[in-house]
Amino acid sequence: MQITFLGGAGEVTGSCYLIETKDVRFLVDCGMFQGGRDAGRKNFAAIDFNPESIDFVLLTHAHVDHSGLLPRLSVLGFRGSVYMTRATADLLSIMLRDSAHIQEKEAEWHAKTALRNKKRSLRYESVPLYTVTQAETFLKQMRGIDYDEMCQPHLSVQCRFRDAGHIIGSAVIEVWLKSGTRQKKIVFSGDLGQPGHPIVRDPVFIKEADYLLIESTYGNRCHRSMQDTRDEMVEIICQTLIHKRGNIIVPAFAVGRTQDLLFLLADLQCQGRLGAMDIYVDSPMALAATEITLRHRELFDRETIDIMNWHSQHNKNLRIHFVREVEDSIRLNYMKSGAVVISASGMCEAGRIKYHLKYNLPRPECSILFTGFQAAGTLGRRLVDGVRNVRILGEQIPVRASIHTVGGLSAHADQENLLDWLRGFSRPPQKTFIVHGEPGNAEAFAHAIREQLQWPVSIPRRMASERLG
């Protein structure tokens, strides 16, 4: 048995793990690299193995850093099935189309820019990874599985999807793998959520594993408490909308974070801490994702159901406007005050958020509110790190707006949450691999595991392979 870390090792994006025995070859996740000038090249080069040799894929959840290269895998020859939870399958039906649409538009823009500047564009800039048609064709390969149901994608493999508490449909995957007379259990944490996080239930504890891959996005720190986060949100909203009379721009993932924010704002109104306000969700995909989320109420926690019941009777106070048309999105750029605009993408790399930043970053009365992880090399990361000027849509834009980072809303477990989840194991795995984290975060988490749990841990490099058993 062997595992190769094709992505999500030494960095947060591009999660992809290849597992091989003499009988079977399969992937867990097949995600897109994001952030930095090198991401496009890495995505084009990521599938440097024979896709036709892959028997099947297991998918932890719908975010594109875990799922975004699946259509490309199919385009290059993969014909097997991709197993995921039913909610994840619903979300992918919109997310992969959107991903393909963005790639087509960006490729078109790069080609036109190169022609205008009389330069030769690079292939990975001027050609999409896959088209909308190819993404739609791939959707036929998806297979939805219920949480806690045993699944057998191959004669030598059994697996089970357990609730990871990250976004709707997210899963920890337990895999039982036979090779000859041996059987080993490998657990893939995917992205683990925070206990008590809005909407989703808390992550399920796993009792045992021979080998474990665990994420470390926030392996070096602890988040602010949810109460402190609510207090900070109220202060930012009141200062910006009432005292400074500006706008609040919130870059947010269309899936997961947007729904969390809407829940939190409704909760704060329920508590009487915010007055009537207008929220503009400027992302057609966020609307579709919200509709899908509402179709899976059986996965909600009790607090979310209570807040939804309250909001249904008081919805005149929190006026939520879903912006569909481009013309309506453009009109938001000319609103000078009183608007809370939630728009994708969450790391400011693509989509309508770039226009809202262009028009609001130069204004000191406005605020930019980050509520999620910003990968190295992204526009969001540069803003969080305090740059004074940024280039957006070909223009130099001064940064005069207030930049806020609210860490308590992260959909990722922090170091203490991760350690608590590990304590749920009845015995240490033979080896624990620290993945899905920037090098410093992964090192800090590995040190904490060694110090507090005395477990054997490893931080694999990208493209490294490890023998199992």
- 417 in the same domain as 399: no
- The tokens describing 144, both together, are 């939805």
- 381 in the same domain as 250: yes
Task: Provide the number of structural domains found in the chain.
Answer: 2
Q: What is the CATH number of the domain that holds 457?
A: 3.60.15.10
Q: How would you classify the pairing of strands 248-251 and 367-370? A: parallel
- Which helix (DSSP H) or strand (DSSP E) does residue 157 occupy? strand 157-163
Tell me, what DSSP letter sits at residue 1?
-
**Domain boundary at 409, 433, 450, which?**
409
Q: What is the CATH number of the domain that holds 326?
A: 3.40.50.10890
Is residue 173 within 8 Å of 161, Cβ to Cβ? yes
**Count helices and strands in the chain by DSSP H and E runs:** 15, 22
Which among 411, 464, 407 has a CA at the least distance from the CA of 434?
Answer: 464
Contacts of 191 (CB under 8 A, 6+ apart): 60, 61, 63, 66, 164, 166, 167, 170, 215, 217, 411, 412, 436
Q: How would you classify the pairing of strands 389-392 and 395-398? A: antiparallel
- The tokens describing 11, both together, are 């960095």
- 446 in the same domain as 346: no
- 204 in the same domain as 233: no
SS3 34: coil
- 404 in the same domain as 337: yes
- 459 in the same domain as 383: no
Which among 179, 159, 181 has a CA at the least distance from the CA of 171?
Answer: 159
- 454 in the same domain as 384: no
Cis peptide before 216 (omega within 30 of 0): no
Interhelix angle 86-116/284-295, rounded to 10 degrees, is 170
- 362 in the same domain as 231: yes
- 241 in the same domain as 287: yes
**Domain boundary at 409, 424, 451, which?**
409
- 425 in the same domain as 377: no
- 289 in the same domain as 210: no
CA–CA dist 4, 320 (Å, integer): 45
- 94 in the same domain as 194: yes
Which among 405, 421, 411 has a CA at the least distance from the CA of 453?
Answer: 421
**Domain boundary at 409, 428, 447, which?**
409
Residue 46 lies in domain: 2-221+411-467
Digits of tens for pLDDT over the chain (469 positions)? Answer: 999 999 999 999 999 999 999 999 999 999 999 877 788 899 999 999 999 999 999 999 999 999 999 999 999 999 999 999 999 999 999 999 989 988 898 888 777 877 777 776 666 677 899 999 999 999 999 999 999 999 999 999 999 999 999 999 999 999 999 988 889 999 999 999 999 888 899 999 999 999 999 999 999 999 888 889 889 999 999 999 999 999 999 998 888 888 889 888 988 888 889 888 899 999 888 889 989 998 998 898 888 888 888 777 766 677 889 998 999 999 999 999 999 999 988 888 888 999 999 999 999 999 999 987 788 888 999 999 999 999 998 899 999 999 999 878 888 999 999 999 999 999 999 999 999 999 999 999 999 999 999 999 999 999 999 999 7
Contacts of 310 (CB under 8 A, 6+ apart): 266, 270
Query: Tokens 């999105």 belong to which residue?
Result: 329
Tell me, what DSSP letter sits at residue 323?
-
